[in-house]
A and B are shown apart, each in its own frame.
Chain A
Amino acid sequence: MTIAATIPAPLVATQGADGRNPGKRSVEPILKTENLWKLYHAGKVEVPALRGVNFEVQPGESVAVMGPSGCGKSSLLYVIGGLAKASRGKVLVDGNDLTELSDAARTKLRRSKIGFVFQRFNLLPTLTAKGNIAIAQYIHGDGFDPHRFDVVTKMLGLDGRLSHKPSEMSGGEQQRVAIARAIINEPKILLADEPTGNLDTRNSEIVLQMLRQLNKDLGQTVVMITHNPEAVTYFDRVVHMRDGVIVDGVPAD
């Protein structure tokens, strides 16, 4: 029996081609995009990565975004995470419209409300696992919180590996450190960009299970981009994208 088969089906089944999930109780979405456009410029040519995307995520929900390469998944993630600026439309994160904010304000919001996990782990190579997690707390401005640090590292099974540098750890361990770094400051939203893309099957399952655990046990809102069809079974809802638009958003079952 696979790990996916043990995961119960979500309580509400809905359909919607616009990424919304109207079946859930009416709560203000923690994340919402309205007619979101993202244009890149290749010389004189404008390339639309996102074309009028309407997307919502409720607090405590876990959403997987799937689609072929170049469909705009990563662009969506970076825009809602405040790393890139929308060309048109609105992006509301916990009630804050990112499109109205300056770079400095978006950075501040990202610092307090958003955690990122990347496909390539993106750990700082000169710091140990402990340092990579602690620096997120330092940047957040609250200083090192040993209690929170212990809780997170124990939950992610990082005991005994904290003094090791990324080059001394396996891919799975590095990704768990990255997840610890992303959640150490209790962000409102955890954004994961193909977190299992560089992992083998076993480590992929471990990481996905951890994301699921964070969502179910701690109520962490998770939005994950993935190519992996099996990965979506760990999430409440899957959203499909193609050519910069959301084509459907269905519960994962």
Chain B
Amino acid sequence: MMGELIVRNLFHRPVRTFIGILAIAVEVSLVVLVVGLVTGLLAETAKRIEGVGADIVVQPPAASILLGFSGAPMPIKIADKLKELKYVQDVAPTLLQSNSAGGVEVIYGIDPESFRAVSGGFVFLAGHDFERPNDILVDDWAARAKKLKVGDTYNLFNNDWHVAGIVEHGKGARVFVPITTLQDLIGAKDKASIFWIKCTRPEHTEDLMADIGRELPGYTVRPIKEMLSIYTSTNIPGLQIFIDAMIALAVSIGLLVIFLTMYTTVIERTRDIGVLKSLGANAPFIVRTLLMESALLCLGGIAAGVGLSYVARSVFLQIFPTLSIRITTEWIVRAGVIALVGTVIGASYPAWVASKKDAVEALTFD
């Protein structure tokens, strides 16, 4: 009976119910998409870093964990020193340069031979490897986003590059240029930002790190596993605060809309509340009815929010193919719980007001 009353109440004002569901859906999808975008980008970046195939990375002292934001302060000749160490199979010096035109991306300037040795080489989906100084390789996601194909000209760092090949994504960056050309362009001749090191065997990693530490005191030496673990929201300063702020914003939206929805509901149904009280409904009954109505509204919003999240993700990926948005069951459940808690809080005051209404006044309300 309670269920019938609640459902019929919701359908009695379909527009108001729809707006309530929409608000919750926006709240849920905001949480799911923001978290999904952050974790997706971080996870995808980490996957690409792992895809380079290195066991150890060497960076300058006090280097940023975010690759591409530390400049190129290391002499490239360090690579020769590193190659002499025991347990080193290959070393790939790479020059990282950020490009903020049309979004933020990190361009890798690579030595094709050494990069191939460490990473196992690119999988070419079209075209070929570097043949000329101005050749550029683009991964398939970036090619789709920038609408590039083999043979096109692409302007980067005020230089016209020739798209030589489209490669499979997953090896560090999305865009690769010859390291010497990039060094000339940015005035970093004979410099590198990072050295990717492949060990002879993975179990030699610790020993090799110790050797590198002795050889290059003060330099940042990390095993690739540690590098990957950095790419989580909790490890990047400010990112968790951003996520928490977005969640708080989303909850506020849902809470306020539910508050307003239920408050107007209580006012509109003042006489109905009086009727229920005349039938002997006590305060907990009135509160329970309103909270259950809000909860059902919320459940509808959660379902709609999940759907909206997937639809929005499809749309975003169509427009921005290089984006990675991870929608996980864990965060769908969390977003749902957050929405439900916010709904109960938002509906609590109107429910309390309803339960306290004077029955006689309510019955004569117009």
- Measured between beta carbons, the chain A residues less than 8 angstroms from B4 are 127, 131
Which A-chain residue is minimally distant from B280 (CB atoms)? Answer: A111
Q: Are A107 and B360 in contact (CB under 8 A)?
A: no
> Contacts A108-B282, A144-B1: A131 and B359 contacting too (C-beta < 8 A)?
no
| Interface residue? A126 (CB, 8 A) | yes
CB distance from A126 to the nearest CB of B (A): 4
| Interface residue? A139 (CB, 8 A) | yes
| Interface residue? B276 (CB, 8 A) | yes
Q: Are A126 and B5 in contact (CB under 8 A)?
A: yes
Q: Are A107 and B277 in contact (CB under 8 A)?
A: yes
| Interface residue? B236 (CB, 8 A) | no
Digit string of B4-25 for contact with A (CB within 8 Å is 1, else 0)?
1100110110000000000000
* A139 to B286 CA separation, bound complex (whole angstroms): 11
| Interface residue? A134 (CB, 8 A) | yes
Partner-binding segment picked from A8-16, A116-124, A245-253: A116-124
* A231 to B223 CA separation, bound complex (whole angstroms): 95
Within 8 A of A (CB), among B1-59: 1-2, 4-5, 8-9, 11-12
CB distance from A215 to the nearest CB of B (A): 21
| Interface residue? B285 (CB, 8 A) | yes
- Measured between beta carbons, the chain A residues less than 8 angstroms from B275 are 122-124
Within 8 A of B (CB), among A127-146: 127, 131, 134-140, 144
Q: Are A107 and B8 in contact (CB under 8 A)?
A: no
CB distance from A131 to the nearest CB of B (A): 6
> Contacts A122-B271, A124-B275, A131-B5: A139 and B360 contacting too (C-beta < 8 A)?
no
| Interface residue? B227 (CB, 8 A) | no
Within 8 A of A (CB), among B263-291: 271-272, 274-283, 285
| Interface residue? B363 (CB, 8 A) | yes
> Contacts A83-B359, A83-B360, A131-B5: A126 and B12 contacting too (C-beta < 8 A)?
yes
Report the count of interface residues on A (CB-CB < 8 A).
30
- Measured between beta carbons, the chain B residues less than 8 angstroms from A127 are 4-5, 8
* A2 to B360 CA separation, bound complex (whole angstroms): 36
* A131 to B280 CA separation, bound complex (whole angstroms): 16
* A127 to B5 CA separation, bound complex (whole angstroms): 7
| Interface residue? A27 (CB, 8 A) | no
- Measured between beta carbons, the chain A residues less than 8 angstroms from B11 are 126
- Measured between beta carbons, the chain B residues less than 8 angstroms from A137 are 1
- Measured between beta carbons, the chain A residues less than 8 angstroms from B2 are 138
- Measured between beta carbons, the chain A residues less than 8 angstroms from B5 are 124, 126-127, 131, 135
> Contacts A131-B4, A131-B5, A138-B2: A124 and B281 contacting too (C-beta < 8 A)?
no
* A114 to B277 CA separation, bound complex (whole angstroms): 12
CB distance from B280 to the nearest CB of A (A): 2
- Measured between beta carbons, the chain B residues less than 8 angstroms from A111 are 279-281
> Contacts A84-B360, A135-B1, A138-B2: A125 and B12 contacting too (C-beta < 8 A)?
yes
CB distance from A149 to the nearest CB of B (A): 12
- Measured between beta carbons, the chain B residues less than 8 angstroms from A209 are none
Most chain A C-beta atoms within 10 Å of own C-beta, residue among B9, B275, B280, B363: B280
Residues of A within 8 A of B (CB): 78, 81, 83-84, 103-104, 107-108, 110-112, 114, 116, 118, 122-127, 131, 134-140, 144, 181
The 3 closest A-B pairs by CB, nearest first: A111-B280, A138-B1, A126-B8
Q: List 6 A-B contacts (CB under 8 A).
A: A78-B360, A83-B277, A124-B276, A125-B12, A125-B272, A139-B285
